[in-house]
Structure 1
Amino acid sequence: MSSMDERLKMSENAAATDDAPTMSRRTFAAAAGVTALSAALAGCASDEKPNESEGEEVEPGDGTGPKDSVAAAQKEELEKFVVTSGYNCCYCTIQGYKRDGQIVYIEPGELPEDPARNHACQRCMSWSRHATDENARVMYPMKRKEGTERGAGEWERISWDEALDLVGDKLNAVLAKDPKAASFYIFTGNMNTLSWFAPARMAHCLGTTTWSMEGIMGDHATSIGYTMVTGNPDPGHDALDYMNSNMMLFFGCNMADNIAPSIRFAARAKEAGAKFIVVDPRVSSTASIADEWIPINPGTDTAMILAMMNVIIANDLHDKTWLANYSCAPLLVSDEDGSYIHNADGAYLAWDTAKNAAVVAEPSFGEDDNTSGPESTLALTGSFVVDGVACHPTMDDLVAEVQNWTPERASEITGVPAERIESLAIEYANAKPAAIQTCTGSSRYYYGYEICRAAATLAGLCGYTGRAGGGASRNNGGNPIDGTTVDFTGAGAALTNDAEWFTVGDGESFGAYVGAILSPYSVDPEGFKAARVFKSSEMYDAAITHNPVPIDFLYIATSNYINQSPDAHKVIDEVFPAIDFIVTADPFMTWTAQYSDVVLPVATWLETWDLSTQGAYLRVNKPVIDRIGEAMSDTEIMTMLSKRVGCEDAWDKTDEEWVRLQIDSGSPALEGYTVDDMIEAGVVARKDGVFGKATYPLGDKVFATPTGRLEFYTEVLVPYGAKVPTYLRGDDNPENKYADKYPLNFIQYHDRRQVHTQHSGSELLNLLESEPHLYMNPEDAGARGIAHDDMVRLFNDRGSCTLKAFVTPGIVKGTVAIPQGWEPKDFAEGHYQFLTHYEKNAVEEVLSMTNAAFYDVRAEVEKA
């Protein structure tokens, strides 16, 4: 294996290259049967033949052949533009070329200061074709024909004035009775600042209701788990930091498809000698390039991690010095009720073996020196009495819990051989350091937060937290600011002049909304209340029973709500019928739009002014194509609506004026750039950005937890038997009662074809994959008489869908899977969301809100 110094040198070299091991533009073009250049430049080339080989297409090159110089020469004749994608996943910068106003060529944009991160996947590269497909777009405002049912597909074209007069009248009627009964719901269809926030801004202008989105989208358990342990819902190491790792251990994280800009760095670290292991129920794209795929039964990762901690502690491989200095391990808790022991001033106490007395355990501030800190005399085990209260260190509770989880017991649940669990634990503890990577897909299970909670605890157990090459990460932070890795949604509040945009209504609530929901993933119920945000786990009840708030008017933006929410039958049959008036604003006629009363055509990020402040960059979009049909931006729609609901003073600018106002901030981070410079460039690097350097969070050991330490012991969960990480999923999972009738686990995963439904119906992506498939193991298929490509029916008591089978050993026995993002029109019958559920989880409701357990679904398969 290469030495650390050699890998660090390779990391420096990687920052100056752009040779990511991802699908090349040429590969995508060949697969799609059309290239961005050949589909466009072939139609706009000069009369002179561009290549001596007759009939040979001109396509993007890789810098090694004559085609590159031809492409470069042709590009010089075209109008260049730079734009940043807004849909989820988001913020990849692309550059392209136009002729006569038409896009003829798309390629990854050039990130200033850090070309190693230049990236655009096939979704982004194909977007211009999809966004300009008039057959896919909503072309003009429409209302449901009077007397027809929602979902019948009976529409009447109306003007914008007619549409907004109708929406305004309905909204005003609700506002007059109870403003809270009007709801504005946003999701992730366009995450650039103006488009994403505009509907929520209107809600706060009017004093109406908004909803959190993480719970119902199935991402929130990840936020809960990491916040419990580290105080940070997204403690992501920069992807370059893989170069400092000796092992990369991925739990259910398909980075190659879903965090595509980061996978190149994991691949380079592997090439440099770091061992790359993926634990996943299926051979994902990421598992296919790893050193080892460890198949595991869905949702059982926690049991495996607990067994690994058992082995590590039994072999005395845990970092006791780090634990004593920086974790809750030495903090004392009552033997009787499990509560933390405090002194009269409320400070946490630990037992000092040198003083033979209880002492104040100060929060774990430390030097960012990649060490375990000074030797400590705080006890990690034992029985003590403090002021008459019998107590013990929390480490004893963790040890007691993991001792229940032998590799053999974990093997019975996970399907991973006991010997591999044991050997992996020893490899991980000896890697020094090793990096753990999870993603939101790791925890879309009942009690899904326990997976990330356990992973973060494992990293701390070995002293890898706050250390280069270590940690347990959710997302990769990308370029940090001032040496601190930031979340992928951005850290731009201090960068832009956004006070006028965010200060509306009662002045504080909208700013609180942004803080509670999007900075990045709050799990604080009190923060929700301050922002007038309700838990998405309460949304179904709110519509049906008016508890905790009624929903009489619902405005849905940047969201295909039915397709991306669990239990679609309940949404269609109970939730939506209980809502008097539903408006959907979307570029496409989605499943949700079909069940609305009014549909408004929204412009995409190729057609609008907008900005984003992700990481160490400011990105500015200006329209690069003409509007499709009568589409308007989300901000323009809210501006027109404001005149009908009496808040027009807050909406007195055009989109371009909002952008210019916000980027004309005078921030030192933008020193030297004029407003016009930033608009012309499309993307500029912050002056306080850190580029080409691997960074990581928590190096100073400052944890935003109640104890100020890495906190694996959670006092509030003592009554639930979950005071330390444990495996709860098998005890009271509501799906367990169906196990005999429906023996298969059904999961829906994100793949490289689409994220959610933004790319549904994309002509180019359909050339790669035109229909959904049900992936199943050969043993499961054979037992049911199913062959590859057979039409099959996936079903349970809630619903069904019919599609083709894809038989492969690349998925564990007993589990079937469908890639996420397909709509009902793509199935022969039904839809996978007809099989899912949204059962409340008492523990998650105490901690924050229930996370949709999209991957905890029992089902059966039969030939159709």
Structure 2
Amino acid sequence: MKISRRDFIKAGAVGTASMGLSGSLFSSNKWFQPVSAKGKSQEKIAFTYHTTNCGGRCAFKCTVRDGKLSMIQPNTWTDKRFSTVCLKGLSEIERIYSPDRLQTPLKRVGERGEGKFVPISWNEALTTIADKLKELKRKYGGKSILFSCSSGIEYTYPFLPSLLGAQFAIESGIDIGLANGLEECIGSKAYGYVQNETSDWVNSSTIILLGCNILETTLTDSKFFFKAKDAGAKIITIDPNCSTTASKSDQWIRIKPGTDGALLLGMISVILDNQWYQHDYLVKNTSSPFLIRADNQKLLKQNDTHEGSTTNPYLVWDENSNSLKPFNAPGVKAKLEGEFTVDGVKVKTVFTALKENQKQYTLKWAAEKSEIGEDIIFELTRDYATRGPAVLGWGFGGGDKWANADITGHSGGILGALTGNIGRVGGGVGVALYHGTSWSAQLSSWELPSQFKATPLEMTTPDMREKPNSVKAVINLGNTLQQHFANLHKTEKWIKQLDFIVTIDPFHNPSVDYSDIVLPACTAFESEYDIVNMQINRSHVLLSQKVIEPLHESKSDFRIEKELAAKLGLDQYLPKTPEEYQKARLNSPDPRLKGINLNTLKENNCIMRLQVPDEPYRGYMDQIYPTPSTKLELYHEKLAEDHQALPTFEEPGEASPNNPLFKKYPLQFSSAHTKYRVHSQFTNAKWINQYQPEPRLEMNPLDASSRGLQNGDLVEVFNDRGTFKARCLLTEAYRPGQIRLHEGWWSKHMAAGNLQNVTNDVLNPRQYKLRYGPVIPYNDTLVEVKKV
């Protein structure tokens, strides 16, 4: 039965019986009440926020009436532009009382994946888990236990992995494809986020959004998009599909999926050919003048037996002395271009090598690869390079999830360097979603005795399904078994080989069905403690209070970890309460936290701005980077043997017409983000599902017509990995040759199967050398569709 929020509120005078509601949460006549009853109720206000994985980063003022959450409103930030709440936040009133809530600990009685369980007590559940973990650690060591955590979980069980010597993973292989290329240039490890805060866009002349649907996936940042547009920024969205963001931009450019890197390489060539690059910026702030040896493709250093750094500097050709000099020597004027001979070895500058490498990537070539007109690419590049400060921003769910994504990220870093748009007001390159860049501060940590250390992750978790490794048990926090792996059938084979699986979550998500023991966790609104958690976000410190008591037999994540640690004989090392833990974190010498403590946070409705400037955060304005040379490093010598020291285009790993499989499976399948969910969270939110009641496979009418399909037909999507079924939705907004189903749908909502049955899990070997390891190429997938 569908229950709208309006009906939910209006139902007070009618009562629950006439609406057909059942269950203990809805049986009380105190739940739905007429407005006139408000004065007779006991009310309180509490403050909390959405956890880190939600792109809105909303903070909530919650009204609790007679112990039940009855209203959610935006909390008041110091910066009032953030005082917003989206439909996901409002839907929490319904979702926390969902029939999908896990109500008691469960023990598996059927086969893994069947979803057959019996209720057990907390004591039996925790004792079973503790005994099994002790046994595994005794036999195989702590490394045999893997804590696999969804990124949407804020309390990530920070103590048990170290106390057990276990392995720990958060979304291994996800959201890293573009970051792998960009951050080799910049030297950071921040998931590839753009350097400047989104609120700095008002200072931008041109904003290029590459596969970035910010108006859906970061709804609460839409104001900054429109303020930039009103301030005169030209906003250009490049996307295979006419997304919400594309429809509100000054220009939408439709690109062939998997060719983002080709477009950026073409733009680099246009800039070089027209000399639109910033000569002085390149010499001063980048590795462009460094010298590449012709004999081994390595950079020339003062001491070639060691890695280059400021203490073992790279060498450049000094114009003043016409000789080799360390790049950081006083008075050096490095030549940007040139070829030289040093001790019989030929060398050339990185910039010279870049120009040579780019000769193959002509404007015509880029147009043919990307299926974008030459004139459009030329105008796009001229806008980016010559109009003033510019942003090149991308997303996580599009071009990032391809086997060739690191090449795109590397090309983006070079574009930012050529135009001087990194470390510049109104500039930036990288992920432009989730307001991921802002002022921050260094919190302290809770120190454990030195003998307790987690085992470093042996390998990216997708590889654990096939390669020999130590893992015998998985403690699954969230929905990682479905959401964090492509090719679900391969995941299921691995799952069945494991000795023990535990899932901890508030809801009966798909991962629950594979588990031996299931523990019902509280939502972020419930706790046994007055304080739940704390985070730094959007230049503010946010405190999360308890809103309501735990529902059913659920327990907070903090209490679960504490009680499990007690069963293991290790609880003496944990803080006694979340309040003690958050006090320790705030006990930091960072001056940006001055005056911020639990008491002052409570006095300020649980939100306080850091002691930071009022203007937007802008990174690397000092042009000092966390690379060995402290410069933007455009040449990556560790990838020379892979022919990727400078970006060299590669076709997609699977979804390419050059792949022989293309004849059999001619459609590219993507699983994009949507405003209605956060990955697989909110899949069971009934209020939201009124707008998107079931999974719909979106496809262009031309593709449908050639397959005899009509709008609403039940179709089967299949390839050699597997199959799933869903109803199709025909739309002109979607590019021919490409189909899409929004990510995160639980198996029970599908007509049959799971979208992960078909997704591509083949990892790119080159990317093991990069800082995040190989990306899972979810969107680099070929399929075919037929009517059921």
TM-score, normalization by structure 2: 0.90
Report the count of equivalent residues.
748
In structure 2, distance between residues paired with 1:302 and 1:451: 4
Q: What is aligned with 2:409?
A: 452
Residue 102 (structure 1) aligned with residue 71 (structure 2)? no
Q: What is aligned with 2:54?
A: 89
Moved over 6 A (4+): 73-77, 731-735
- C-alpha distance 862-827 of structure 1, shift in aligned 2 (>3 A): same
Q: Once the 2 structures are TM-superposed, how far is the Cα of residue 103 of structure 1 from its aligned partner?
A: 2.0
Letter in 2 for 1:210: F
Residue 862 (structure 1) aligned with residue 786 (structure 2)? yes
Any gaps of 5 or more consecutive residues in structure 2? 15-34, 304-310
Q: Once the 2 structures are TM-superposed, how far is the Cα of residue 413 of structure 1 from its aligned partner?
A: 1.8
Residue 383 (structure 1) aligned with residue 383 (structure 2)? no
Instruction: Output one character per residue of 1:780-809: Cα deviation in whole Å (capped at 9) or x when no partner.
Output: 112112222221111111111111111112
- Could you tell me which of 598, 623, 630 is aligned with 1:675? 598
Q: Once the 2 structures are TM-superposed, how far is the Cα of residue 732 of structure 1 from its aligned partner?
A: 8.2
Q: What is aligned with 2:144?
A: 182
Q: What is aligned with 1:599?
A: 518
Q: Once the 2 structures are TM-superposed, how far is the Cα of residue 78 of structure 1 from its aligned partner?
A: 4.7
- Could you tell me which of 88, 113, 130 is aligned with 1:151? 113
- Could you tell me which of 852, 860, 864 is aligned with 2:776? 852
Query: Does structure 2 retain, via aligned residues, the 8 Å contact 1:123–1:765?
Result: yes
Letter in 2 for 1:854: Y
Residue 354 (structure 1) aligned with residue 320 (structure 2)? yes
Q: What is aligned with 2:19?
A: none
Q: Once the 2 structures are TM-superposed, how far is the Cα of residue 340 of structure 1 from its aligned partner?
A: 0.5
Q: What is aligned with 1:56?
A: none
Q: What is aligned with 1:120?
A: 85
Q: What is aligned with 1:396?
A: 352
Residue 499 (structure 1) aligned with residue 446 (structure 2)? yes
User: Secondary structure at the residue paired with 2:5?
Assistant: coil
Q: Bigger CA drift: 742-751 or 648-657?
A: 648-657
Residue 248 (structure 1) aligned with residue 230 (structure 2)? no
- C-alpha distance 102-644 of structure 1, shift in aligned 2 (>3 A): closer
- C-alpha distance 595-81 of structure 1, shift in aligned 2 (>3 A): same
- C-alpha distance 541-687 of structure 1, shift in aligned 2 (>3 A): closer
Query: Does structure 2 retain, via aligned residues, the 8 Å contact 1:40–1:103?
Result: no
In structure 2, distance between residues paired with 1:586 and 1:578: 23
In structure 2, distance between residues paired with 1:492 and 1:379: 39
Q: What is aligned with 1:706?
A: 628
Q: Once the 2 structures are TM-superposed, how far is the Cα of residue 326 of structure 1 from its aligned partner?
A: 0.8
Matches for 1:578-727 after TM superposition, within 5 Å: 578-608=497-527, 609-651=532-574, 653-663=576-586, 668-672=591-595, 675-679=598-602, 681-691=604-614, 693-727=615-649
TM-score, normalization by structure 1: 0.82
Residue 568 (structure 1) aligned with residue 517 (structure 2)? no
Q: Once the 2 structures are TM-superposed, how far is the Cα of residue 109 of structure 1 from its aligned partner?
A: 1.7
Any gaps of 5 or more consecutive residues in structure 1? 1-30, 46-69, 365-373, 511-530
In structure 2, distance between residues paired with 1:505 and 1:141: 34
Letter in 2 for 1:853: P
Q: What is aligned with 2:24?
A: none
Q: What is aligned with 2:181?
A: 225
In structure 2, distance between residues paired with 1:804 and 1:565: 24
Q: Once the 2 structures are TM-superposed, how far is the Cα of residue 96 of structure 1 from its aligned partner?
A: 2.3
User: Secondary structure at the residue paired with 2:543?
Assistant: strand
In structure 2, distance between residues paired with 1:383 and 1:668: 49
Q: What is aligned with 1:438?
A: 394
Query: Does structure 1 retain, via aligned residues, the 8 Å contact 2:258–2:652?
Result: no
Q: What is aligned with 1:169?
A: 131
Residue 340 (structure 1) aligned with residue 287 (structure 2)? no
Q: Once the 2 structures are TM-superposed, how far is the Cα of residue 662 of structure 1 from its aligned partner?
A: 3.8
Residue 749 (structure 1) aligned with residue 713 (structure 2)? no
Query: Does structure 2 retain, via aligned residues, the 8 Å contact 1:612–1:620?
Result: yes
Letter in 2 for 1:855: N
- C-alpha distance 39-580 of structure 1, shift in aligned 2 (>3 A): same
Query: Does structure 1 retain, via aligned residues, the 8 Å contact 2:465–2:490?
Result: no
In structure 2, distance between residues paired with 1:696 and 1:717: 30
In structure 2, distance between residues paired with 1:590 and 1:255: 27
Q: Once the 2 structures are TM-superposed, how far is the Cα of residue 174 of structure 1 from its aligned partner?
A: 0.4
Q: What is aligned with 2:97?
A: 132
Letter in 2 for 1:115: K
Instruction: Output one character per residue of 1:344-382: Cα deviation in whole Å (capped at 9) or x when no partner.
Output: 473111112332222221299xxxxxxxxx9x9422222
Q: What is aligned with 2:280?
A: 321
Instruction: Output one character per residue of 1:751-792: Cα deviation in whole Å (capped at 9) or x when no partner.
Output: 101011111111111111111111111221121122222211
User: Secondary structure at the residue paired with 1:771?
Assistant: coil
Q: Once the 2 structures are TM-superposed, how far is the Cα of residue 655 of structure 1 from its aligned partner?
A: 3.0
In structure 1, distance between residues paired with 2:654 and 2:294: 26
Query: Does structure 1 retain, via aligned residues, the 8 Å contact 2:504–2:519?
Result: yes
Q: What is aligned with 2:713?
A: 790
Query: Does structure 1 retain, via aligned residues, the 8 Å contact 2:43–2:64?
Result: yes
Q: What is aligned with 1:209?
A: 167
Query: Does structure 1 retain, via aligned residues, the 8 Å contact 2:586–2:596?
Result: no
In structure 1, distance between residues paired with 2:400 and 2:127: 43
- C-alpha distance 201-89 of structure 1, shift in aligned 2 (>3 A): same
Instruction: Output one character per residue of 1:298-337: Cα deviation in whole Å (capped at 9) or x when no partner.
Output: 1211100110111111111111111111111111111222
User: Secondary structure at the residue paired with 1:725?
Assistant: coil
Q: Which has the higher helix share?
A: 1
Letter in 2 for 1:213: E
In structure 2, distance between residues paired with 1:479 and 1:137: 30
Q: Once the 2 structures are TM-superposed, how far is the Cα of residue 189 of structure 1 from its aligned partner?
A: 5.3
Query: Does structure 1 retain, via aligned residues, the 8 Å contact 2:214–2:433?
Result: no
- C-alpha distance 534-223 of structure 1, shift in aligned 2 (>3 A): farther
- C-alpha distance 535-220 of structure 1, shift in aligned 2 (>3 A): farther
